[in-house]
Amino acid sequence: MDRYEHGGRGFEHPGALDFSANLNPLGMPPCAVQALRAGVESFAHYPDPANGGLRRAIATFEGVDACQVLACAGATDALWRLCQVLRPHTALVCDPCYSGYEQALEQVGTCVRHLRLDERTGFSAGNELARALDGYEALFVANPNNPTGRCLDRETLLACLRRARRTGATVVLDECFVDLCDARGSVDLLEEYPNLVVVKALTKSFCLAGLRVGYVLCADESLMARLEAAGQPWAVSVPAQLAGQVCLGPEAGHAFLDRSRELVRGERERMSNALCKLGLGVVPSEASFLLFCAPRSLYASLLAHGVLVRSCQNYHGLDERWHRVAVRMPNDNDRLLAALGEVLR
Protein backbone atom coordinates (compact mmCIF):
# COMPACT_ATOMS: atom_id res chain seq x y z
CA MET A 1 0.00 0.00 0.00
CA ASP A 2 1.00 3.59 -0.59
CA ARG A 3 1.83 5.27 2.72
CA TYR A 4 -0.92 7.86 2.17
CA GLU A 5 -3.57 5.56 0.72
CA HIS A 6 -6.94 5.90 2.44
CA GLY A 7 -10.19 3.99 2.60
CA GLY A 8 -13.20 4.80 0.46
CA ARG A 9 -11.81 3.20 -2.69
CA GLY A 10 -15.00 1.37 -3.52
CA PHE A 11 -14.78 2.79 -7.07
CA GLU A 12 -11.95 0.32 -7.65
CA HIS A 13 -14.15 -2.62 -6.62
CA PRO A 14 -17.62 -2.14 -8.11
CA GLY A 15 -20.17 -4.41 -6.52
CA ALA A 16 -18.25 -4.85 -3.27
CA LEU A 17 -19.88 -3.82 0.01
CA ASP A 18 -17.65 -0.97 1.18
CA PHE A 19 -16.74 -1.00 4.88
CA SER A 20 -13.55 0.99 4.26
CA ALA A 21 -15.21 4.44 4.37
CA ASN A 22 -16.73 5.57 7.68
CA LEU A 23 -19.85 7.33 6.45
CA ASN A 24 -23.19 7.82 8.18
CA PRO A 25 -25.06 4.51 7.68
CA LEU A 26 -28.31 6.45 7.17
CA GLY A 27 -26.80 8.07 4.08
CA MET A 28 -27.38 11.62 2.92
CA PRO A 29 -30.45 13.25 4.51
CA PRO A 30 -33.42 13.04 2.11
CA CYS A 31 -33.93 16.80 2.33
CA ALA A 32 -30.40 17.33 0.97
CA VAL A 33 -31.04 14.94 -1.90
CA GLN A 34 -34.23 16.81 -2.75
CA ALA A 35 -32.52 20.21 -2.54
CA LEU A 36 -29.71 19.09 -4.86
CA ARG A 37 -32.18 17.78 -7.42
CA ALA A 38 -34.28 20.93 -7.27
CA GLY A 39 -31.25 23.23 -7.43
CA VAL A 40 -29.41 21.61 -10.33
CA GLU A 41 -29.86 24.65 -12.60
CA SER A 42 -27.99 26.81 -10.07
CA PHE A 43 -24.90 24.67 -10.60
CA ALA A 44 -24.27 26.60 -13.83
CA HIS A 45 -23.34 29.70 -11.83
CA TYR A 46 -20.25 30.59 -9.82
CA PRO A 47 -20.51 29.87 -6.09
CA ASP A 48 -20.42 32.57 -3.44
CA PRO A 49 -16.65 32.91 -2.82
CA ALA A 50 -17.31 33.96 0.80
CA ASN A 51 -19.59 30.95 1.43
CA GLY A 52 -21.93 33.31 3.23
CA GLY A 53 -24.99 31.08 3.55
CA LEU A 54 -22.96 28.01 4.45
CA ARG A 55 -20.87 29.93 6.96
CA ARG A 56 -23.99 31.22 8.72
CA ALA A 57 -25.48 27.72 8.77
CA ILE A 58 -22.31 26.30 10.32
CA ALA A 59 -22.22 29.09 12.92
CA THR A 60 -25.83 28.46 13.94
CA PHE A 61 -25.33 24.69 14.06
CA GLU A 62 -22.16 24.97 16.18
CA GLY A 63 -23.36 27.86 18.34
CA VAL A 64 -20.46 30.17 17.45
CA ASP A 65 -20.02 33.54 15.76
CA ALA A 66 -19.76 33.47 11.97
CA CYS A 67 -16.35 35.17 12.18
CA GLN A 68 -15.07 31.99 13.88
CA VAL A 69 -16.04 29.85 10.86
CA LEU A 70 -14.18 29.13 7.64
CA ALA A 71 -15.85 26.85 5.09
CA CYS A 72 -13.50 24.63 3.08
CA ALA A 73 -13.57 21.94 0.40
CA GLY A 74 -13.51 19.14 2.95
CA ALA A 75 -11.36 18.65 6.04
CA THR A 76 -8.31 17.91 3.87
CA ASP A 77 -8.51 21.40 2.36
CA ALA A 78 -8.67 22.77 5.91
CA LEU A 79 -5.62 20.77 7.04
CA TRP A 80 -3.53 21.80 4.04
CA ARG A 81 -4.43 25.46 4.52
CA LEU A 82 -3.47 25.22 8.20
CA CYS A 83 -0.08 23.78 7.37
CA GLN A 84 0.53 26.39 4.67
CA VAL A 85 -0.30 29.20 7.10
CA LEU A 86 1.22 27.87 10.34
CA ARG A 87 4.33 26.37 8.71
CA PRO A 88 5.49 24.83 11.99
CA HIS A 89 9.11 23.75 12.15
CA THR A 90 8.11 20.89 14.44
CA ALA A 91 4.80 19.11 15.01
CA LEU A 92 3.60 16.20 17.13
CA VAL A 93 1.11 13.52 16.08
CA CYS A 94 -0.09 10.35 17.82
CA ASP A 95 0.28 6.90 16.28
CA PRO A 96 -1.72 5.32 14.90
CA CYS A 97 -3.55 8.27 13.34
CA TYR A 98 -4.82 9.67 10.07
CA SER A 99 -1.87 9.99 7.69
CA GLY A 100 -3.25 13.19 6.18
CA TYR A 101 -1.71 15.22 9.00
CA GLU A 102 1.80 14.04 8.16
CA GLN A 103 1.19 14.39 4.42
CA ALA A 104 0.09 18.02 4.76
CA LEU A 105 2.91 18.86 7.18
CA GLU A 106 5.56 17.36 4.93
CA GLN A 107 4.54 19.74 2.14
CA VAL A 108 5.83 22.67 4.23
CA GLY A 109 8.98 20.92 5.49
CA THR A 110 7.78 20.30 9.04
CA CYS A 111 9.72 17.86 11.19
CA VAL A 112 7.00 15.47 12.40
CA ARG A 113 7.42 13.44 15.58
CA HIS A 114 5.24 10.39 16.20
CA LEU A 115 4.14 9.64 19.75
CA ARG A 116 3.36 5.90 19.80
CA LEU A 117 0.17 5.06 21.70
CA ASP A 118 0.16 1.83 23.69
CA GLU A 119 -1.89 -1.06 22.34
CA ARG A 120 -2.21 -2.40 25.89
CA THR A 121 -4.27 0.66 26.88
CA GLY A 122 -6.43 0.43 23.76
CA PHE A 123 -4.38 3.19 22.08
CA SER A 124 -5.80 5.84 24.41
CA ALA A 125 -3.88 9.10 24.80
CA GLY A 126 -3.17 10.19 28.38
CA ASN A 127 -0.98 12.60 30.30
CA GLU A 128 2.04 11.64 28.21
CA LEU A 129 0.56 13.64 25.33
CA ALA A 130 0.74 16.98 27.15
CA ARG A 131 4.18 16.18 28.56
CA ALA A 132 5.47 15.42 25.07
CA LEU A 133 4.39 18.82 23.70
CA ASP A 134 7.42 20.79 24.88
CA GLY A 135 9.58 21.82 21.96
CA TYR A 136 6.81 21.48 19.34
CA GLU A 137 5.03 24.29 17.56
CA ALA A 138 1.88 22.32 16.75
CA LEU A 139 -0.07 19.27 17.85
CA PHE A 140 -2.33 17.45 15.40
CA VAL A 141 -4.73 15.14 17.22
CA ALA A 142 -8.21 13.72 16.65
CA ASN A 143 -11.34 13.31 18.79
CA PRO A 144 -12.26 10.53 18.19
CA ASN A 145 -9.10 9.15 16.69
CA ASN A 146 -8.93 7.37 13.35
CA PRO A 147 -8.45 4.36 13.12
CA THR A 148 -8.83 3.47 16.81
CA GLY A 149 -12.20 5.11 17.52
CA ARG A 150 -10.91 6.29 20.91
CA CYS A 151 -12.03 9.71 22.14
CA LEU A 152 -9.68 12.20 23.72
CA ASP A 153 -10.29 12.55 27.43
CA ARG A 154 -11.42 16.09 28.28
CA GLU A 155 -8.77 16.55 30.97
CA THR A 156 -6.08 15.35 28.58
CA LEU A 157 -7.19 17.90 25.99
CA LEU A 158 -7.28 20.69 28.57
CA ALA A 159 -3.79 19.75 29.76
CA CYS A 160 -2.56 19.93 26.18
CA LEU A 161 -4.21 23.30 25.58
CA ARG A 162 -2.78 24.80 28.76
CA ARG A 163 0.70 23.52 28.00
CA ALA A 164 0.49 24.65 24.37
CA ARG A 165 -0.62 28.13 25.47
CA ARG A 166 2.46 28.42 27.69
CA THR A 167 4.80 27.31 24.91
CA GLY A 168 3.07 29.17 22.07
CA ALA A 169 2.00 26.01 20.22
CA THR A 170 -1.19 25.52 18.19
CA VAL A 171 -3.48 22.56 18.86
CA VAL A 172 -5.22 21.35 15.70
CA LEU A 173 -8.11 19.12 16.80
CA ASP A 174 -9.73 16.94 14.15
CA GLU A 175 -13.37 16.35 15.15
CA CYS A 176 -14.64 15.01 11.82
CA PHE A 177 -16.17 11.96 13.52
CA VAL A 178 -17.39 13.54 16.76
CA ASP A 179 -20.99 14.12 15.61
CA LEU A 180 -21.51 10.37 15.09
CA CYS A 181 -20.40 9.40 18.59
CA ASP A 182 -21.53 10.26 22.10
CA ALA A 183 -18.37 12.16 23.01
CA ARG A 184 -18.51 15.82 23.80
CA GLY A 185 -17.15 18.17 21.16
CA SER A 186 -14.68 20.94 21.93
CA VAL A 187 -16.25 24.01 20.35
CA ASP A 188 -17.04 25.44 23.79
CA LEU A 189 -13.28 25.80 24.42
CA LEU A 190 -12.58 28.13 21.47
CA GLU A 191 -13.02 31.43 23.31
CA GLU A 192 -10.82 30.44 26.24
CA TYR A 193 -8.14 28.91 24.02
CA PRO A 194 -7.46 30.91 20.83
CA ASN A 195 -4.59 28.45 20.22
CA LEU A 196 -7.22 25.76 19.54
CA VAL A 197 -8.24 25.07 15.94
CA VAL A 198 -11.11 22.62 15.41
CA VAL A 199 -11.44 20.95 12.01
CA LYS A 200 -14.74 19.32 11.06
CA ALA A 201 -16.47 18.02 7.94
CA LEU A 202 -19.90 16.95 6.76
CA THR A 203 -18.26 14.06 4.92
CA LYS A 204 -18.90 11.48 7.61
CA SER A 205 -21.80 12.88 9.61
CA PHE A 206 -24.06 13.67 6.64
CA CYS A 207 -22.55 11.36 4.01
CA LEU A 208 -21.32 14.16 1.72
CA ALA A 209 -17.93 12.62 0.87
CA GLY A 210 -18.26 13.31 -2.85
CA LEU A 211 -19.25 16.96 -2.36
CA ARG A 212 -16.29 17.95 -0.15
CA VAL A 213 -17.69 20.16 2.63
CA GLY A 214 -15.53 20.91 5.66
CA TYR A 215 -14.80 23.80 7.97
CA VAL A 216 -12.44 25.34 10.51
CA LEU A 217 -13.53 26.78 13.86
CA CYS A 218 -11.19 29.12 15.73
CA ALA A 219 -11.41 32.29 17.83
CA ASP A 220 -8.11 33.71 16.53
CA GLU A 221 -9.36 36.24 13.96
CA SER A 222 -5.90 36.88 12.52
CA LEU A 223 -5.33 33.18 11.89
CA MET A 224 -8.78 32.81 10.33
CA ALA A 225 -8.09 35.69 7.93
CA ARG A 226 -4.82 34.09 6.84
CA LEU A 227 -6.51 30.72 6.38
CA GLU A 228 -9.15 32.28 4.17
CA ALA A 229 -6.49 34.01 2.06
CA ALA A 230 -4.57 30.72 1.71
CA GLY A 231 -7.35 29.00 -0.25
CA GLN A 232 -8.21 29.25 -3.91
CA PRO A 233 -11.25 31.33 -4.98
CA TRP A 234 -14.58 29.47 -5.20
CA ALA A 235 -13.14 26.54 -3.25
CA VAL A 236 -16.56 25.28 -2.13
CA SER A 237 -18.85 24.47 -5.05
CA VAL A 238 -22.49 25.49 -5.45
CA PRO A 239 -23.84 21.97 -4.75
CA ALA A 240 -21.53 21.61 -1.75
CA GLN A 241 -22.72 24.90 -0.27
CA LEU A 242 -26.35 24.02 -0.95
CA ALA A 243 -26.14 20.53 0.57
CA GLY A 244 -24.22 21.82 3.57
CA GLN A 245 -26.80 24.48 4.38
CA VAL A 246 -29.68 22.00 4.14
CA CYS A 247 -27.92 19.32 6.21
CA LEU A 248 -27.16 21.76 9.00
CA GLY A 249 -30.61 23.35 8.90
CA PRO A 250 -33.82 22.46 10.74
CA GLU A 251 -34.89 19.72 8.27
CA ALA A 252 -31.90 17.55 9.22
CA GLY A 253 -29.33 19.02 11.60
CA HIS A 254 -29.16 17.77 15.17
CA ALA A 255 -32.30 15.59 14.92
CA PHE A 256 -30.82 13.63 12.03
CA LEU A 257 -27.57 13.19 13.96
CA ASP A 258 -29.47 12.01 17.05
CA ARG A 259 -31.04 9.21 15.00
CA SER A 260 -27.69 8.42 13.44
CA ARG A 261 -25.92 8.15 16.80
CA GLU A 262 -28.60 5.83 18.15
CA LEU A 263 -28.17 3.50 15.18
CA VAL A 264 -24.37 3.61 15.33
CA ARG A 265 -24.32 3.00 19.08
CA GLY A 266 -26.41 -0.15 18.89
CA GLU A 267 -24.77 -1.62 15.79
CA ARG A 268 -21.25 -0.84 17.02
CA GLU A 269 -21.86 -2.76 20.23
CA ARG A 270 -23.41 -5.68 18.36
CA MET A 271 -20.55 -5.80 15.85
CA SER A 272 -17.91 -5.50 18.54
CA ASN A 273 -19.37 -8.43 20.48
CA ALA A 274 -19.60 -10.53 17.33
CA LEU A 275 -16.02 -9.75 16.31
CA CYS A 276 -14.78 -10.75 19.77
CA LYS A 277 -16.68 -14.05 19.51
CA LEU A 278 -14.82 -14.71 16.26
CA GLY A 279 -11.56 -14.47 18.22
CA LEU A 280 -10.52 -11.06 16.90
CA GLY A 281 -8.81 -8.43 19.03
CA VAL A 282 -11.22 -5.48 19.01
CA VAL A 283 -10.20 -2.02 20.20
CA PRO A 284 -12.97 -0.39 22.31
CA SER A 285 -14.47 2.30 20.09
CA GLU A 286 -16.69 5.32 20.63
CA ALA A 287 -16.89 6.14 16.93
CA SER A 288 -18.71 4.91 13.83
CA PHE A 289 -16.01 2.33 13.07
CA LEU A 290 -14.09 -0.51 14.70
CA LEU A 291 -10.41 -1.44 14.62
CA PHE A 292 -9.53 -5.09 15.10
CA CYS A 293 -6.53 -7.36 14.88
CA ALA A 294 -6.72 -10.74 13.11
CA PRO A 295 -4.18 -13.60 12.97
CA ARG A 296 -3.31 -12.55 9.41
CA SER A 297 -4.36 -10.13 6.69
CA LEU A 298 -8.01 -10.70 5.78
CA TYR A 299 -8.24 -8.00 3.11
CA ALA A 300 -8.00 -10.18 -0.01
CA SER A 301 -10.08 -13.00 1.45
CA LEU A 302 -12.91 -10.65 2.39
CA LEU A 303 -12.78 -8.92 -0.97
CA ALA A 304 -13.23 -12.32 -2.61
CA HIS A 305 -16.46 -12.54 -0.58
CA GLY A 306 -17.58 -9.13 -1.88
CA VAL A 307 -16.65 -7.16 1.22
CA LEU A 308 -14.14 -4.27 1.17
CA VAL A 309 -12.46 -3.39 4.48
CA ARG A 310 -9.71 -0.94 5.34
CA SER A 311 -6.33 -2.61 5.63
CA CYS A 312 -4.41 -0.67 8.28
CA GLN A 313 -0.93 -1.85 7.37
CA ASN A 314 0.11 1.66 6.23
CA TYR A 315 -0.70 3.24 9.61
CA HIS A 316 2.36 3.91 11.75
CA GLY A 317 2.46 1.32 14.53
CA LEU A 318 0.13 -1.18 12.84
CA ASP A 319 0.70 -4.01 10.34
CA GLU A 320 -1.23 -6.18 7.90
CA ARG A 321 -3.08 -7.97 10.74
CA TRP A 322 -5.01 -4.80 11.60
CA HIS A 323 -8.27 -3.88 9.87
CA ARG A 324 -10.84 -1.11 10.25
CA VAL A 325 -14.53 -1.51 9.41
CA ALA A 326 -17.31 1.05 9.31
CA VAL A 327 -20.57 0.61 11.18
CA ARG A 328 -23.23 0.27 8.50
CA MET A 329 -26.89 -0.74 8.39
CA PRO A 330 -27.78 -4.01 10.17
CA ASN A 331 -28.15 -6.11 6.99
CA ASP A 332 -24.79 -4.91 5.70
CA ASN A 333 -23.14 -5.61 9.04
CA ASP A 334 -24.60 -9.11 8.98
CA ARG A 335 -22.95 -9.69 5.60
CA LEU A 336 -19.59 -8.57 6.95
CA LEU A 337 -19.86 -10.84 9.98
CA ALA A 338 -20.89 -13.79 7.81
CA ALA A 339 -17.93 -13.20 5.47
CA LEU A 340 -15.56 -12.99 8.43
CA GLY A 341 -16.93 -16.23 9.78
CA GLU A 342 -16.21 -17.90 6.44
CA VAL A 343 -12.63 -16.62 6.01
CA LEU A 344 -11.69 -17.39 9.62
CA ARG A 345 -12.88 -21.02 9.54
Sign (positive or negative) of CA dihedral 60, 65, 68, 69:
positive
Residue 137 backbone phi and psi in degrees, to 5: -90, -15
> What angle separates helix 30-38 from helix 238-248, to the nearest 10 degrees?
140
Mode of pairing for the β-strands spanning 322-326 and 289-293: antiparallel
Helices (H) and strands (E) in the chain — how many of each?
A: 12, 13
Can you give the pLDDT at residue 13?
74
Can you give the pLDDT at residue 265?
97
DSSP percent split of the chain into helix, strand, coil, nearest 5: 45, 15, 40
Q: Which of 240, 209, 267, 226 shows the shortest CA–CA distance to 72?
A: 240
In this structure, which amino acid lies at residue 119?
E
For the chain, list the strands marked E by DSSP: 17-18, 69-72, 90-95, 111-116, 138-142, 170-174, 196-201, 214-217, 281-282, 289-293, 307-308, 310-311, 322-326
Q: What is the pTM of this model?
A: 0.95
Q: Which of 203, 228, 199 shows the shortest CA–CA distance to 213?
A: 203
Residue 94 per-residue DSSP state = E
Can you give the pLDDT at residue 3?
63
Report the first-to-last Cα separation within the chain, whole angstroms: 26
Tens digit of pLDDT per residue, the chain (345 long)? 566 566 657 667 788 999 999 999 999 999 999 999 999 999 999 999 999 999 999 999 999 999 999 999 999 999 999 999 999 999 999 999 999 999 999 999 999 999 999 998 889 988 889 999 999 999 999 999 999 999 999 999 999 999 999 999 999 999 999 999 988 899 999 999 999 999 999 999 999 999 999 999 999 999 999 999 999 999 999 999 999 999 999 999 999 999 999 999 999 999 999 999 999 999 999 999 999 999 999 999 999 999 999 999 999 999 999 999 999 999 999 999 999 999 998
Rounded Cα distance, 309 and 300, in Å: 9
